[in-house]
Amino acid sequence: MSILHGMRVFESSAFVALPLAGMQLAQMGAEVIRFDNLGGGLDHFRRPLAPNGESLFWHGLNKGKKSFAVNLKSEKGRELVSDLITSDGEDSGLFISVAHEPGIAHPPGYPLYTMLAHFFTWIPLGSIAERVHALSAIAGISSCILLFQISRELKADSLSALVAASCLGVSSSFWYQAITAEVYTLNTLFFLLLFLLGLKQQKESIKWRWMVMAFISGLSLTNHWPLMLITAPALFLIILPQWKDSLPLSSCSFLE
């Protein structure tokens, strides 16, 4: 792991010293995010130029950095930069910026979260950062409700189910993810929803429920597909009994 992993630096600089310092921080593992006015910074067209007209000077001093352009002359643009600089979370500033523009986050891209967060930026309440954070909060609240429903489905009494959902909601890691612009509460929502549908399918197999589960599974892969693949074995074990019953006997021998 790089020495500055986890550090986030916002940069708006020109000439040599500060861009070079930012590049060195990025090479040491920091997340350096450069922002410039629309049309590029002061050094955007500084000579020498490549055959395609791009500045070799600019590219040489901005290696390894993330960047975005914003209209710093507008109040909304300045508000966005302020929200990004003061936002919590390792990727929170990045998700706020790509939601507002909209743009593309780091791999795997998180297209579903980005699009949903972009719609949330249209809400005429609070700052841009608060609107994007609201998406994580709503997904977190919904996850707690689903855990309550799962507990009840597993024959827990209402009080026990409420305690289980509350413990998830107030746990430090989940709470942190629910108040910042991050993708993990939405991922938790998808997993718990599939888990609940799988439990219901165990009790009563309904054809349309299989289709809903297939659709949700595909949709979840557009958020954070590596985590959903990790959880796939658990979901498979939930639906295995009903899946075996729905297959011809000759196809089930390998599952015995």
**In the chain, domain spans:** 1-73, 75-246
The pLDDT value given to residue 36? 84
Question: What CA–CA distances, in Å, run from 196 to 68, 145, 155, 168, 201?
Answer: 40, 11, 13, 16, 9
| Four-CA torsion 41, 46, 50, 53, nearest 10 degrees | 60
Q: Label residue 88 by pLDDT band (50, 70, 90).
A: low
Given a cut of 90, whether residue 71 has pLDDT beyond it is no
- Regarding predicted confidence, which is higher, 53 or 183? 183
CA–CA separation, 54 vs 40, rounded Å?
Answer: 11
SS3 of 243, please? helix
Question: What residue type is 241 in one-letter code?
Answer: P
Q: Mean per-residue pLDDT for 93-102?
A: 77
Higher pLDDT among residues 35 and 255, named by residue: 35
Per-residue confidence (pLDDT) for residue 18, from 0 to 100? 83
Contact 165, 151 (CB under 8 A): yes
Residue with tokens 């350096």: 32
Residues 225, 160: Cα–Cα separation, whole Å:
32
Residue 34 in this model has a pLDDT that exceeds 60: yes
Q: What is the pLDDT of residues 99-129, one digit of tens each?
A: 877 777 777 888 899 899 999 989 888 888 8
pLDDT at 253: 47
pLDDT above 50 (res 250):
no
Identify the residue with better confidence: 244 or 252. 244
Rg from Cα positions in the chain: 23
pLDDT above 90 coverage of the chain, percent = 25
Q: Using one digit for the tens of pLDDT, what is the confidence trace for 159-218?
A: 999 999 999 999 988 998 898 888 899 999 999 999 999 888 888 878 888 899 889 989
